[in-house]
């Protein structure tokens, strides 16, 4: 008889994607079991989508998940018959894992296979053969240590996963502990943070120690990074998006760990310190040698010290030269941290193969329900364009249309109206265009932070915002990432980087730190109605709606065009 | 024996069985007419298609027996333990209940017999038999063959002569007597043909017999076609064989030996020559099914098939199909559908199309129209019903497209289905071994694989889509297995049970990210509704759609109102509608109709807005339905140019026509009222007729053959068919102007015309 169990929550699709009903008594149990071998793609309100990919299955294999577990899970929770090809594909893919192993044999990095024919096949591949050394035995071939990452990447692209058992360089020992009662009251890792640390660390085994942890903004990624550092207790290099993030890491480390301030070095445009824990910026790593187009002298930092752990903060922003350098340091443990593993360039797979697979993924809404991030109300506020501007917009070149619509002066009126709703809140006004931000800052009589603002001034303003001396802060995209402003509870977005989904998520993240009073966060996007601004806004919202956020939509109606003119002076 | 005798010996319950097997109503059939019905050639052929190979062999053997009768002992001896006694009894009883033979099963006194109509029908049904080869010859020729074979006395009737020849040749001893009496050369030639598989063509015979062959052929042409023989042919060994029907001509043009395509030893002669019977020539037991382990397989999923049928129905309903002139869809349309629904192959759309025709999902719109149209879905039809309807549709389509080579009523698809239901489920078997089994079960319907005959009921795409897994073994041979769960749907048991397939689900899940998910068992009407408001993005189990501004615009363009679009969502959505969906509907709804387009062929333009206002409100002109667009411009909704001119004149105005390229100008012109004429058609002709009637001048513009435009002021005189006869206003030169080349015609005002009259 055809299987049909309407009470079950899962639909297994022929392309190995899985649709999981949220409003189902088996949801939680099923979700927990799927997490072991499937990748959460999106989690909107009612149905979450998972994908069983080759990589997710091989990761599962490396964590000890068996084919039987996968089969039983799918059969137990599926509403309908499993499509004929799905189990065949899964069985085939899982059987590939472990056929090729990398390990150290007599001090040499060695590639080993079960089937000599497979080694023959690899040897005949033009891309792979240059990375193989002489054959030591029929089933073994030596590999140059510098090719470890590239070989793994190339084999993965050929559909041949490598079980990397070669282990890691432990690095120079440097004890790190989390403070139980530190300057800011110490730290106790939350359950999901412990799970994330353990998922990465894997008891220090060779199958752990490299990978990406995906958690929402405000969920404490830095703290998790500190937890991993405590596990590794080794010299650590941390790569950050900018100097503010460097300072924030430094502050957290001093507050929450036993690392003495003098052991923390800053490797940036301003300083070039190398200490047991060194914080560097992506920017300095990719600074070219003067007069040269090709050399990135600061990439040497990867090998100048005996690092036992490298942390990539906001790993989705990893620049290409750092990617390439990462391929050559596969003996070091590598931790990637991000809230949105969405690269607009579509290079998510490179992140997986060079930093490591996704080891942990906490859905935003799950953490919201548990109270670890603030519940957020997202609202799109649509404003009309003044007639003259619409005419200009209509006749504009395509490339200018977004700027015209995004900087629609009517947005100021809407902004004013929104601020009236939040007179006592800490509000971040975020925008893309500096002239627009200048106008807004002037309009609101609020301070402005852009890329031009000196770091010292930025810190001062951030500090003022944290203490409450400043309640409204106008910021450009420099504040998209890694700025910890826990008190901010309202973000108003005036314009963005076109349709960037990760930017939208990061901006929401600015207000998701849980509030002391348990209050909720508000995120507003002001868009010009019936324009390309609205189209981009739709696209920007995609990641968050897929994470389960709902956008309410409001229309803003200015009283009259006269009022607009009055406001604009 | 006679049919009457057979019927008379039947017990009442046996007679009832016979009537049922002959598809006759036991209550209304007159038994006295039964012999005529049973002997009817077409009817008998239909009955014979029910026989399996063993039953048919018994009948054929009996047809070769003298007097169409044999002793029970002879039958048992001939079968020679190849079948058990029980099997023989069952077979004979079955044949008796079909009314094809009668028998008494007693050792020593028992007998078995058939009658003429059966013997004739079975003999002509298949192969190169004596009967089929000799039927085309004249009675005289058959008499000559009887004489050569020492049959005495020569029977009088043609059929009896045929039967007599068959009896001699089917008997091993008598055949060998005939062969012994041949000349040495003829015996040697017979052996030579026999060694070649019993067949020899012209080339082989001419090489073997050299010139003698051509004489023989000449003889055949003349003697066997009634024109006499030449002396040179006498003594030919080939003629000896032909005159005794030991070798017969086989012609593609009926049984005319004179135009034989090749020559062959009849099957009965070959059988008797080897000392065997027809029972030795065929297997009397069913051939075994070959089981295999396939390497490539595809398993049908009935739920997803029904889902995809709903997709093609929606695809057609929403006008997404481009139709050919003959009403069939263009291949590219079906390939587009395949792509949209992420089908495994680009030809999947064709499979769906064929299936959609087998169940009432579409119907023909007729040639040159809009191809096929979608039918309403019967709300009572369950998924199980629809799958059964698909199978029934396949059977019925097979019946309608009755193939050449199958007998009336042979219903090959139904038989395939019957046999599929009997073979073990969930076991992979080769399709060829199944075909061999089919040929055994119904040899008169299904040809033996490899015989070269056309395949019957060979298109199994419906079966592969619904109840059979398809695969291939390592050598590439096709194999299949009956999916037991599918079989349960197709062949419901007598016991009423729960439905096998998931019941229809009419609901969707609408999400804030604007995706809409319809489950795999979505109701066809729910799928149709979804297609009408959203774009399909995935179809790997559940169907995933996305609501976009374009999809809502398309729905509005198809005539739905925003409220109707929203109602569709609310009707199916299992969850409250997200604001993102509501707003996209509202946004598009607000934009919808912001610009309106309508036909306006005639406009009025005035200098004084008061004039237009007066005209628009005039009761006399109300029929024109003038709508004011601007203070000095109005459009006429309800009349063409001449009618407007006439109406205005009757109302006391003096309208003039504007040029064809003129456009209304908000702000006034020098003319009091300007009428814009239509290009071509009545508008143009109307202006000319007006000019003729009022003796006015016109300015005509037309295109010359080389493409240039010419313009003249003319005084029109008349229109003769499509020719305007006119005079040049300047030179007086007569003009015959082809109206089909005229681009525009405008009336000259009195002032403009003045200079021409001067």
**B541 vs A44, A83, A551: nearest CB:** A83
Closest by CA to A230, choosing from A207, A252, A206, is A252
CA atoms within 13 A on the CB side of B142: 24
pLDDT band at B535 (very low <50, low <70, confident <90, very high): very high
Alpha-carbon gap, residue A462 to A477, rounded angstroms = 15
* Residue B538 reports pLDDT greater than 70: yes
Instruction: Please report which helix (H) or strand (E) contains residue B660, including its range.
Output: none
| Across A115-119, A338-342, A361-365, B142-146, least confident range | A338-342
Query: What are the residues whose beta carbons fall under 8 Å from the beta carbon of A21, sequence distance 6 or more?
Result: A9, A10, A27, A46, A47, B509
A192 closest CA partner among A173, A159, A214, A164: A214
Does B18 or B664 have the greater pLDDT score?
A: B18
The mean per-residue pLDDT over the stretch B307-335 comes to 90
Per-residue pLDDT for B663 more than 70? no
Read off the pLDDT of each residue in A95-100 and give the average, rounded to a whole number: 90
Q: What pairing do the DSSP bridges indicate for beta strands A309-312 and A333-338?
A: parallel
Q: SS3 of A555, please?
A: strand
CB A158 within 8 A of CB A125: yes
Query: What's the Cα-to-Cα distance from B533 to each of B372, B435, B553, B559, rounded to whole Å?
Result: 22, 48, 9, 12
Specify the pLDDT at position B662. Answer: 55
Q: Please give the pLDDT value at position B125.
A: 37
Quote the DSSP letter at residue A4.
B
Rounded to an integer, the average pLDDT of B103-108 is 91
Between CA B243 and CA B237 the distance in angstroms is: 10
pLDDT of residue B207: 83
Q: Count CA atoms within 13 Å of residue B724 on its CB side.
A: 28
Q: Among residues of chain A, what percentage have pLDDT more than 70?
A: 93
Per DSSP, the three-state class of B720 is strand
In the predicted model, what is the mean pLDDT of residues B358-378?
Answer: 72
Residue B406's pLDDT band (cuts 50, 70, 90): very low
Mean pLDDT value across residues A523-529: 93
- In terms of phi and psi (left: phi > 0; alpha: psi -120 to 50; beta: otherwise), the region of B619 is alpha
Q: In angstroms, what separates the C-alpha of A187 from chain B's closest C-alpha? A: 37
Band of residue B338 on the pLDDT scale cut at 50, 70, 90: very high
DSSP 8-state assignment for residue B577: P
Q: How far is A218 from chain B (nearest CA, A)?
A: 23
pLDDT of B660 over the 90 cut: no
pLDDT value for B685? 74
More confidently predicted of B685 and A544: A544
Distance linking the first and last C-alpha atoms of chain B: 115
Inform me whether the pLDDT recorded for B731 exceeds 60. yes
Token digits for B34? 């039964």
The whole-number pLDDT of residue A1 equals: 45
Q: What is the DSSP string of A209-275?
A: SEEEEE--TTS-HHHHHHHHHHHH-B-EEEEESSHHHHHHHHHHHHHHBS--GGGEEEESSS-B---
What's the number of CA atoms in the CB half-sphere (13 Å) around residue B577?
17
To test the contact with chain A by mutation, choose from B345, B540, B544 the residue with the greatest count of A C-beta atoms within 10 A, namely B540
Cβ count within 10 A of residue B288: 10
DSSP letter at B156 equals S
Q: What are the residues whose beta carbons fall under 8 Å from the beta carbon of B335, sequence distance 6 or more?
A: B346, B347, B349
User: Hey, what are A510's tokens?
Assistant: 């600015």
Whole-angstrom distance between the N-terminal and C-terminal Cα of chain A?
76
The whole-number average pLDDT for the span B82-92 is: 91
Residue with the larger pLDDT of the pair A323 and B475: B475
CB pair distance less than 8 Å for A551 and B580: yes
Interchain contact B466–A (C-beta under 8 A)? no
* pLDDT at res. A184: 47
* C-alpha–C-alpha distance, residues B231 and B521, integer Å: 83
pLDDT, residue B676, reads 35
Per-residue pLDDT tens digits for B410-461: 688 889 998 998 888 889 999 999 999 999 999 888 888 876 667 778 889 8
pLDDT at B124: 42
CA distance A338 to B29: 86
Q: How far is A543 from chain B (nearest CA, A)?
A: 9
Cα dist. B75→B53, B63, B278, B285 in Å? 17, 12, 12, 17
Q: Is the pLDDT of residue B43 over 70?
A: yes
Distance from CA of B575 to the nearest CA of A (A): 8
What interface predicted TM-score (ipTM) does this complex get? 0.76
Per-residue pLDDT averaged across A324-328, rounded?
Answer: 74
- CA nearest neighbour of B47 among B101, B105, B10: B101
Residue B636, Cβ neighbours under 10 Å: how many?
A: 24
pLDDT at B652 over 60: yes
- Nearest to B431, CA basis, from B414, B449, B454: B449
- Give the start-end residues of each E strand in B219-359: 248-250, 262-264, 296-298
Q: What pLDDT was estimated at residue B677?
A: 34
Question: Which of B373, B360, B369, B354 has the alpha carbon at shortest distance from B315?
Answer: B373
Which pair of tokens denotes residue A37? Answer: 């071998």
Q: How far is A529 from chain B (nearest CA, A)?
A: 9
- CB-CB under 8 Å, B578 with A17: no
- Residue B69: C-alpha distances to residues A20, B60, B96 (Å): 75, 12, 14
Mean per-residue pLDDT, B80-105: 91
Q: What is the DSSP letter of B464?
A: H
Query: Of A14, A546, A553, which is closest to B579 when you measure between CB atoms?
Result: A553
Confidence class of residue B681 from pLDDT cuts 50, 70 and 90? very low
**Which residues face B746 on adjacent strands?**
B699
Tokens of A216: 């929402």
| Reported confidence tier of residue A345, pLDDT bands at 50, 70, 90 | low
Closest chain B residue to A535 measured between Cα atoms?
Answer: B549
CA closest to A552 among chain B residues:
B579
pLDDT exceeds 60 at position A75: yes
Work out the angle between the directed axes of helices A532-546 and A398-406 (0-180°, nearest 10): 70
Distance CA A220, CA A188 (A): 11
Give dist(CA B239, CA B234) in Å, integer: 8
CB nearest to B583's CB, from A6, A13, A553: A553
A542:B488 CB<8 A: no
Number of neighbouring beta carbons within 10 Å of residue A7:
8
Tokens matching residue B647: 């109406």
Q: State pLDDT tens for residues B256-314.
A: 666 777 888 988 888 888 777 788 878 889 999 999 988 878 888 888 999 999 999 99
pLDDT band of A453, cuts 50, 70, 90: confident
- Alpha-carbon distance of A235 to A174, in angstroms, equals 6
Model confidence at B91: pLDDT above 90: yes
pLDDT confidence of A91, banded at 50, 70, 90?
very high
Contact B297 A84 (CB under 8 A): yes
3-state secondary structure of B83: coil
pTM above 0.80, yes or no: no
The per-residue pLDDT for range A159-210, each reduced to its tens digit, is 888 888 888 888 999 999 998 764 445 578 888 999 999 989 988 887 788 8
CA angle B280, B281, B285 (to 5 degrees): 75
Q: Do B342 and A6 touch (CB under 8 A)?
A: no
Instruction: Report the alpha-carbon distance of residue B712 to residue A246 in Å, rounded.
Output: 86
- What pLDDT is stored for residue B403 in this prediction? 45
With an 8 Å Cβ cutoff, are B512 and A550 in contact? Answer: yes
Unique residue bearing structure tokens 């889902």: B307
Mean residue pLDDT across chain B? 82
* Contact status, residue B542 vs residue B518, Cβ threshold 8 Å: yes
**Looking up tokens 């609101």, which residue turns up?**
A444
Return the structure tokens found at B134. 């000799």
Contact (CB<8Å) B580/A2: no
Sorted by sequence, the CB contacts under 8 Å of residue B502 that are 6+ apart come out as A2, A4, A6, A80, B303, B383, B520, B521
Is it the case that residue B744 has pLDDT exceeding 90? no
* pLDDT band at A17; cut points 50, 70, 90: very high
- Tell me: pLDDT of B120 over 70: yes
What's the whole-number mean pLDDT along residues A261-275?
90
Summarize chain A as % helix, strand, coil (round to 5).
Answer: 40, 20, 40
Chain B stretch 551-590, residues whose beta carbon is closer than 8 A to a beta carbon of chain A: 574-575, 578-580, 583, 587
Q: What is the pLDDT of residues B604-642, one digit of tens each?
A: 888 777 788 888 888 778 888 888 877 788 888 777 777
The token pair at B303 is 């739920």
Residues B454, B434: Cα–Cα separation, whole Å: 16
């Amino acid at each position: 008889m055809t299987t049909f169990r309407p009470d079950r929550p899962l639909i297994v699709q022929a392309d190995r994607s899985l649709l999981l009903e949220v409003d189902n008594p088996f949801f939680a149990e099923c979700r927990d079991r799927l997490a072991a071998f499937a990748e959460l793609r999106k989690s909107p309100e009612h149905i979450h989508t998972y994908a069983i990919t080759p990589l997710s299955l091989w990761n599962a294999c490396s964590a000890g998940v068996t084919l039987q577990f996968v089969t039983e899970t799918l059969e137990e929770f599926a509403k309908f018959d499993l499509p004929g090809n799905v189990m065949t594909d899964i069985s085939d893919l899982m059987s590939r894992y472990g056929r090729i192993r990398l390990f150290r044999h007599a001090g040499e990095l060695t590639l080993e296979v079960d089937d000599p024919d497979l080694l023959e096949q690899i040897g005949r591949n033009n891309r792979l053969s240059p990375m193989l050394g002489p054959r030591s035995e029929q089933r073994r071939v030596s590999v140059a240590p510098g090719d470890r990452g590239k070989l793994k990447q190339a084999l993965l692209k050929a559909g041949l996963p490598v079980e990397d058992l070669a282990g890691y360089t432990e690095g120079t020992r440097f004890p790190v502990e989390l403070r139980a009662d530190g300057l800011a009251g110490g730290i106790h890792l939350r359950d999901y943070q412990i799970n994330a640390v353990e998922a990465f660390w894997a008891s220090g085994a060779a199958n752990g120690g490299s990978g990406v942890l995906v958690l929402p903004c405000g969920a404490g990624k830095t703290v998790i990074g500190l937890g991993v550092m405590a596990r590794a207790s080794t010299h650590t290099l941390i790569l950050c998006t900018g100097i503010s993030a460097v300072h924030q890491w430094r502050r957290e480390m001093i507050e929450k760990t036993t690392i003495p301030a003098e052991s923390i070095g800053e490797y940036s445009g301003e300083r070039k310190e190398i200490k047991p824990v060194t914080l560097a910026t992506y920017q300095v790593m990719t600074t070219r040698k003067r007069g040269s187009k090709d050399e990135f002298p600061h990439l040497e930092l990867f090998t100048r010290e005996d690092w036992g752990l490298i942390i990539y903060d906001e790993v989705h922003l990893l620049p290409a030269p750092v990617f390439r350098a990462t391929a050559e340091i596969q003996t070091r443990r590598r931790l990637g941290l991000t809230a949105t593993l969405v690269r607009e360039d579509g290079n998510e797979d490179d992140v997986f193969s060079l930093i490591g697979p996704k080891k942990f993924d906490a859905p935003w809404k799950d953490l919201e329900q548990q109270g670890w991030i603030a519940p957020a109300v997202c609202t799109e506020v649509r404003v009309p364009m003044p007639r003259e501007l619409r005419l200009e917009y209509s006749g504009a070149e395509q490339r200018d249309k977004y700027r015209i619509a995004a900087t629609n002066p009517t947005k100021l009126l809407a902004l004013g109206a929104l601020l009236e709703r939040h007179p006592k809140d800490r509000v971040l006004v975020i925008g893309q265009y500096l002239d627009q931000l200048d106008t807004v800052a002037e309009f609101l009589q609020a301070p402005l932070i852009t890329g031009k603002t000196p770091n010292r001034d930025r810190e001062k303003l951030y500090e003022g915002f944290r203490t409450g001396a400043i309640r409204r802060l106008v910021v450009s995209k420099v504040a998209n990432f890694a700025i910890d402003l826990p008190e901010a509870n309202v973000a108003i977005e005036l314009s963005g980087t076109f349709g960037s989904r990760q930017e939208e998520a990061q901006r929401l993240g600015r207000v998701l730190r849980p509030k002391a009073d348990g209050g909720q966060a508000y995120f507003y996007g002001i868009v010009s109605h019936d324009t390309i601004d609205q189209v981009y806004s739709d696209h920007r919202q995609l990641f968050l709606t897929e994470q389960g956020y709902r956008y309410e939509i409001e229309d803003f109606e200015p009283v009259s065009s006269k009022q607009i003119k009055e406001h604009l002076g | 024996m006679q049919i009457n005798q057979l019927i008379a010996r039947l017990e009442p319950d046996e007679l009832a069985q016979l009537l049922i097997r002959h598809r006759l109503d036991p209550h209304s059939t007159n038994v006295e007419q039964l012999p005529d019905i049973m002997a009817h050639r077409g009817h008998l052929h239909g009955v014979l298609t029910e026989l399996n190979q063993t039953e048919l062999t018994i009948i054929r053997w009996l047809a070769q027996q003298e007097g169409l009768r044999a002793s029970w002992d002879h039958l048992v001896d001939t079968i020679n333990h190849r079948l058990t006694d029980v099997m023989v009894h069952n077979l004979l009883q079955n044949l008796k209940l079909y009314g094809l033979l009668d028998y008494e099963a007693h050792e020593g006194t028992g007998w078995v017999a058939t009658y003429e109509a059966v013997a004739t029908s079975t003999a002509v049904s298949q192969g190169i038999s004596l009967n089929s080869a000799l039927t085309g010859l004249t009675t005289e020729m058959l008499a000559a063959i009887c004489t050569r074979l020492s049959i005495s006395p020569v029977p009088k009737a043609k059929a009896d002569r045929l039967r007599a020849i068959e009896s001699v040749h089917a008997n091993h001893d008598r055949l060998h007597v005939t062969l012994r009496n041949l000349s040495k050369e003829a015996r040697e030639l017979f052996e030579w043909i026999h060694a070649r598989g019993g067949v020899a063509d012209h080339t082989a015979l001419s090489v073997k017999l050299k010139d003698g062959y051509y004489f023989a052929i000449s003889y055949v042409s003349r003697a066997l076609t009634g024109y006499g023989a030449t002396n040179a042919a006498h003594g030919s060994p080939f003629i000896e064989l032909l005159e005794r029907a030991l070798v017969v001509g086989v012609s593609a043009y009926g049984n005319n030996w004179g135009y034989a395509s090749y020559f062959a030893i009849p099957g009965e002669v070959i059988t008797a020559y080897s000392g065997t019977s027809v029972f030795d020539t065929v297997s009397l037991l069913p051939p075994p099914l070959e089981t295999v382990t396939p390497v490539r397989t595809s398993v049908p999923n009935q739920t997803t098939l029904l889902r995809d049928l709903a997709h093609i129905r929606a695809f057609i309903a929403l006008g997404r199909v481009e139709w050919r002139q003959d009403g069939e869809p263009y291949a590219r349309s079906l390939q587009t559908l395949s792509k949209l629904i992420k089908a495994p192959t680009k030809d999947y759309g064709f499979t769906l199309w064929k299936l959609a025709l087998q169940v009432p999902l579409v119907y023909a719109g007729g040639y040159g129209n809009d191809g096929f149209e979608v039918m309403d879905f019967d709300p009572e039809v369950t998924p199980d019903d629809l799958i059964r309807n698909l199978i029934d549709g396949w059977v019925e389509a097979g019946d309608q497209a009755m193939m050449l080579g199958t007998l009336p009523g042979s219903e090959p698809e139904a038989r395939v289905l019957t046999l599929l239901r009997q073979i073990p489920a969930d076991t992979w078997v080769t399709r060829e071994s199944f075909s061999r089994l089919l040929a055994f079960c119904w040899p008169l319907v299904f040809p033996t694989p490899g015989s070269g005959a056309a395949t019957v009921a060979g298109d199994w795409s419906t079966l592969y889509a619904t109840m059979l897994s398809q695969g291939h073994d390592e050598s590439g041979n096709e194999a299949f297995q009956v999916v037991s769960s599918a079989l349960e749907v197709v062949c419901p048991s007598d016991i009423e049970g729960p439905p096998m397939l998931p019941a229809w689900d009419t609901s969707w899940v609408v999400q804030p990210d604007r995706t809409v998910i319809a489950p795999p068992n979505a109701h066809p009407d729910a799928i149709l509704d979804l297609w009408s408001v959203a774009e399909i993005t995935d179809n790997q189990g559940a169907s995933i759609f996305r609501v976009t501004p374009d999809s809502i615009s398309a729905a509005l363009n198809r005539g739905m109102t925003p409220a109707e679009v929203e109602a569709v969502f609310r009707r199916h959505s299992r969850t409250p509608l997200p604001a993102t969906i509501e707003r996209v509907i509202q946004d598009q709804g607000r934009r919808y109709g912001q610009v309106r387009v309508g036909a306006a062929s005639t406009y009025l333009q005035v200098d004084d807005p008061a004039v237009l206002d007066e005209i628009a409100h005039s009761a006399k002109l109300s029929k024109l339905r003038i709508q004011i667009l601007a203070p000095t411009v109005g459009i006429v909704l309800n009349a063409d140019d001449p009618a407007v001119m006439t109406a205005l004149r009757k109302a006391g105005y003096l309208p003039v026509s504007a040029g064809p390229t003129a456009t209304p100008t908000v702000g006034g012109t020098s003319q009091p009222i300007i009428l814009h004429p239509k290009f071509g058609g009545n508008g143009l002709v109307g202006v000319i007729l007006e000019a003729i009637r009022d003796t006015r001048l016109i300015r005509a513009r037309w295109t010359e053959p080389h493409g240039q435009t010419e313009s003249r002021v003319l005084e029109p005189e008349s229109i003769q068919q499509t020719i305007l006869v006119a005079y040049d206003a300047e030179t007086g030169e007569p003009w015959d102007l082809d109206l089909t080349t005229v681009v525009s015609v405008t009336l000259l005002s009195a002032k403009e015309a003045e200079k021409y009259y001067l």
